[in-house]
Amino acid sequence: MFRAVVVVAALFVTPSAQSVPLDVAIINVGAGGGRLITGATGDAGAARGAIGIRGGRIVSIGGADGTNARAVIDAAGLVVAPGFIDVHSHGLETLGRPELRNADAELAQGVTTIVGNPDGGGPIDLAKQRVLLEGDGGIGVNVALLIGHGTVRGAVMGGANRAPTPDELAKMVALVKQGVADGAFGLSSGIFYTPGRYAKTDELVALARAAGGVYTSHIRDEGNYDVGVVASVDEVIRVAEEAHVTGIVTHMKALGPDSWGLSKTLIVHIDAARARGVSVFADQYPYEASSTSLAAAVLPGVSTAEARARLSDGARKPALLAEATENIRRRGGPHSIAIASTRDSALDGKRLDEIAAARGVSPAQAAIDIILDGGASIVSFNMSEDDIRAIMRQPWTMTSSDGALSLPGEGVPHPRNNGAFARKLGVYVRERKVLTLDQAIVSMTSLPAEVFGLKDRGVIRVGAVADIAVFDPAKIVDRATYEHPHQLATGMSFVLVNGQVAWKDGKGTGARAGVVLRK
Ligand SMILES: [Zn+2]
C-alpha cells in the first residue's frame, strides 16, 4: 500500500521536477574507467550516468544528463565518492581566521566535514563558537562540535587534582548537557593532558552518560608512561559499556618502542568488547609520527611552575632530569623529537639531539629549557609501521588527521594537517596496498557518519546531502612532508560541500558552503 502511494506521487513529481534546473550535474559517472563509490559497503560501481543535485541534496542518480543543470562536472575516468569526514581535527582552533576560513587544506584532500574540539578541549560555550564560525562570511567545510571534558572540568574545578564533590559533578553534568543542547555530538576527553588526567573513570562514565552520542578519548597513556596503552584502551571500553555510549579510541597507536607490537592486544580487546555488544571504534592518522607539546611529552602532568621549582632545587633537580630523560627514551630518544614551533623560530624543524649538542647540554636539559622558555609543539616519531597497518586494517577504524589549519611560514608543523587523507589514499591504498580503495573510502565516509550520527551524510544516495569528492585515485598525492609540511595535497578534481562546488580543477572556489551541524 505504502509503495503504491510512493509510485503515484513520483508520477506527479517527476515531470515538474525535470523542468526545474539542477544546480549541479555530475555527468559520465562510471564512464571511462571511473567509478561511483557510494560509501555503503558492497555497493560500489553499480550506478552509471549522472548525479543530479538541487537544493544541496542529491535528487537523482543514474538518469539525468547535464543539459538541465547550471553547472556540470565531468567525472569520466574519475572516482565519485562521498565527501570525507575528519573525525579528529584541530581545525576549529584556527578556522575562524579570515585567511583560513575557506579551509582549502581540507578541501584539497576531499574533506567536507571536520569534527572539532577533540582531546577534551575547545571552548565551554559552543553556542558562541557556532556563531563565530557561521558569521563573518562562513566556512569552507562542515563542522561537528564536541564538548570537551578537560574544558568542563577546568571550568568547574580549575586545576584541582582530586575527584569532584557531588556538587561539582552535578555542575559538570549540567555544562556537558548544555554543550549537547548547543549541538555537540558527544564528549571528547584528553586524559593524558592536564586537567583531564585528574579524572578517574567514574567521572568519565558520568559525563559521557550525560552527553550521550560518542565518547572520543585521547587515552590516558598511548605508550608506557603509567597505566599503559592496553589498560587505557580498556578504560574507553569501560566508559562506553557503562555509559551506554559509543566509545572511540582516537588517533589509536602504540607509542614508543617499548609498546610496539601491542596493536595486536588492543585489537583483541576491542574485538572482544564489540563481540559482547559494546559500541567501540577507533580512528587513526596514517603517519609514524605524532604531534603534541614538548611539555606533555617530556614532563606529563608537571606544571611549568613545578618544573622551574624542581630545577632550581639542587636536591630535586636530578630526579627531574631523570624523569625527562626516561620520557624522551620512551618516545624513541632525542633524535625522534623535532621542534614544530617555539618562540625561537630558529629551532623550528630541529631535532632535540641537535639542539642539545649545539648547546652543550643533555637532551633532557635542553627540553626543559625550551619548556621553561615558553614551551614548544613537537613532531614525535614514535610509531611502528606494523602497528599502523594492523590498526588501519580494522573495519572499525575511521580516518582522522588530528591536524590544524595553518599558513606557510607558521612553524614546521606535522604534515598530517595538509596530507592525512591524501596519504592514506596515495601511500596506504595505492602504493602499499594495505587497504582497498573501497575500504579506505568507507573509513572516511559512511563509517564516521554512522558512528557520529551525521544524518544523510557520508553516503551517495538520492536524498543525501551533496557532500561529494571527485578524484583520480592514481593521482592523489600528499605533498606535505616533515620538512615542508605546508604543501597542500594534489589530485582532488572537484569537491562539493552541501551541493556547492567548493574545489574545482585543483583550486578552491571560496564557496564557504560549510555549516555547523547539529546533532
Ligand atoms: Zn590527541
Q: What is the pLDDT of residues 216-252, one digit of tens each?
A: 999 999 998 889 999 999 999 999 999 999 999 999 9
Task: Measure 466 CA to ligand 1 centroid, in angstroms.
Answer: 30
CA of 197 to the centre of ligand 1 (A): 13
Provide the domain limits for residue 309: 292-381
| Residue in the structure block whose three cell numbers are 614525535 | 380
| CA–centroid distance, residue 221 to ligand 1 (Å) | 11
Cα of 321 from ligand 1 centre, angstroms: 25
Whether residue 137 is found in the same domain as residue 278: yes
In the prediction, which pLDDT does 394 show?
Answer: 98
The label of the residue with cell 551517495 reads: 460
Alpha helices in 334-454 (DSSP H): 352-359, 363-372, 385-392, 416-423, 437-444, 446-452
Identify the pLDDT of residue 7: 38
On whether residue 17 sits in a domain, the answer given is no
- Do 282 and 311 reside in the same domain of the chain? no
Angstrom CA distances, 342 to 234, 333, 417, stand at 35, 20, 18
Single out the residue of 465, 449, 433 nearest to residue 399, CA to CA: 449
Residue pLDDT, tens place only, 5-46 = 333 333 344 444 556 899 999 999 999 989 999 988 555 455
Q: Which of 381, 400, 426 is the last residue of a domain?
A: 381
Question: Ligand 1 centre from 192 Cα, in Å?
Answer: 9
Confidence (pLDDT) at 9: 38
167 and 186 inside one domain: yes
Are residues 355 and 209 part of one domain?
A: no
pLDDT at 64: 64
* Spacing, Cα 120 to ligand 1 middle (Å): 9
Determine the distance separating the centroid of ligand 1 and the alpha carbon of 6, expressed in angstroms. 47
Q: Mark whether 167 and 255 lie in a shared domain.
A: yes
Count up the domains in the chain and report the number: 2
Residue 91: how many other CB atoms lie within 10 Å = 26
The SS3 of residue 134 is helix
Q: Is there a single domain that holds both residue 123 and residue 143? A: yes
Cα–Cα distance measured from residue 484 to residue 270, given in angstroms and rounded to the nearest whole number: 36
Phi first, then psi: give them for residue 355, nearest 5 degrees.
Answer: -65, -45
In angstroms, what is the span from residue 286 Cα to ligand 1's centroid?
Answer: 14
Residue whose entry in the numeric block shows the C-alpha cell 587515552: 219
DSSP-based three-state secondary structure for 153: helix
Ligand 1 centroid from CA 259, angstroms: 18
- pTM for this model (two decimals): 0.94
> Do 332 and 259 lie in a common domain?
no
Q: Is residue 147, in this structure, part of any structural domain at all?
A: yes
Percent pLDDT > 70 in the chain is 95
DSSP category for residue 499: T
Cell 573525525, residue located? 87
Degrees to nearest 5, angle at CA 491 with 489 and 492: 90
CA 380 – ligand 1 centroid, Å: 13
CA of 108 to the centre of ligand 1 (A): 23
- CATH number (domain holding residue 184): 3.20.20.140
Cα 352 to ligand 1 centroid, rounded to whole Å: 22
Single out the residue in 457, 492, 508 at which a domain terminates. 457
Residue 327 DSSP one-character state: H
CA of 436 to the centre of ligand 1 (A): 27
Q: Report helix, strand and coil shares of the chain as percent, to nearest 5.
A: 40, 20, 40
CA of 242 to the centre of ligand 1 (A): 23
CB atoms within 10 A of CB 4: 8
Q: How far is the CA of 76 from the centre of ligand 1 (A)?
A: 39
Q: Are residues 415 and 374 in the same domain?
A: no
Assigned domain for 172 exists: yes
Q: Distance between CA atoms of 112 and 179, rounded to whole angstroms?
A: 23
Same domain, 409 and 273: yes
Is 508 within a domain? no
Distance 402 CA to ligand 1 centre (A): 7
Determine the distance separating the centroid of ligand 1 and the alpha carbon of 160, expressed in angstroms: 22
Q: Is the pLDDT of residue 409 over 90?
A: no
Say how many Å lie between the CA of residue 179 and the centre of ligand 1: 20
Q: Give the H/E segment covering residue 180.
A: helix 166-181
In a domain, 190, yes or no: yes
On whether the CB atoms of residues 350 and 281 are closer than 8 A, the answer is: no
CA of residue 128 to ligand 1 center, whole Å: 23
Interval between CA 258 and ligand 1 midpoint (Å): 20
pLDDT value at residue 46: 53
Ligand 1 centroid to residue 25 C-alpha, Å = 39
Cα 54 vs. chain centroid, distance in angstroms?
29
Q: Is residue 104 part of a domain?
A: yes
Domain boundary among 347, 381, 415: 381
Q: Distance from the CA of 222 to the center of ligand 1, in angstroms?
A: 10
Are residues 450 and 355 part of one domain? no
Alpha-carbon distances of 422 from 82, 415, 443, 451, rounded to whole Å? 15, 11, 13, 22
Mean pLDDT within 301-319: 95
Please tell me whether residues 357 and 314 are part of one structural domain.
Answer: yes
Confidence of residue 192 (pLDDT cuts 50, 70, 90): very high
Distance (angstroms) between ligand 1 centre and the Cα of 101 equals 23
The tens digit of pLDDT for each residue in 428-487 reads: 999 999 999 999 999 999 999 999 999 999 999 999 999 999 999 999 999 999 999 999
Residues β-bridged to residue 339: 378
Is the separation of the CB atoms in 37 and 44 below 8 Å? Answer: yes
Distance 118 CA to ligand 1 centre (A): 7
d(CA 87, ligand 1 centre) in Å? 12
Q: 127 with 223, same domain?
A: yes
Nearest to 393 by CA among 243, 278, 284, 250: 284
With beta carbons less than 8 A apart as the criterion, state whether 457 and 396 touch. no
Distance 218 CA to ligand 1 centre (A): 5
**Mean pLDDT confidence for 114-137:** 96
Query: Does residue 63 register a pLDDT over 80?
Result: no
Q: Tell me whether residue 191 is in a domain.
A: yes
What is the β-pairing status of strands 246-249 and 280-284?
parallel
Residue 190 Cα to ligand 1 middle (Å): 7
Q: What is the pLDDT of residues 148-167, one digit of tens each?
A: 999 999 999 999 999 999 99
Neighbours of 393 (CB within 10 A): 14
74 is a domain residue = no
